[in-house]
Amino acid sequence: MKCPICGSETEKGKLVGDRYALKWMNEKKKLFLGLWAVGGQVIDSRKTNLTLSRPFVNGYKCLNCKKIILAIE
Ligand SMILES: [Zn+2]
């Protein structure tokens, strides 16, 4: 896939979280007590709820402009 920002070729991959799901936070939202992303949108492409799996979302990374394009569901 070509980068929609600079037009360079991108690398396909995934952004992987550790223990907890990744969340999207609008720039106007602040972390609750500076720690918790309350009210954030969960970004996780897992089809199961297995505690042994890791949250992830598929996407593309542009090595030229250093942007990551994520395919949220
Ligand atoms: Zn780019």
Distance 40 CA to ligand 1 centre (A): 27
Q: Convert the pLDDT of each residue in 28-57 to its tens digit.
A: 988 889 888 888 898 888 887 667 788 999
> How many whole angstroms separate alpha carbon 69 and alpha carbon 46?
18
Distance 60 CA to ligand 1 centre (A): 10
Q: What DSSP designation does 51 have? A: T
Distance 20 CA to ligand 1 centre (A): 28
pTM for the model stands at: 0.77
Asked whether 2 and 69 are in contact (CB, 8 A), the reply is no
Distance 69 CA to ligand 1 centre (A): 9
Distance 63 CA to ligand 1 centre (A): 7
**What φ, ψ does residue 14 adopt, rounded to 5°?**
-150, 150
pLDDT above 80: residue 3:
yes
Which amino acid would we find at residue 58? Answer: N
pLDDT given for residue 12 in this prediction: 97
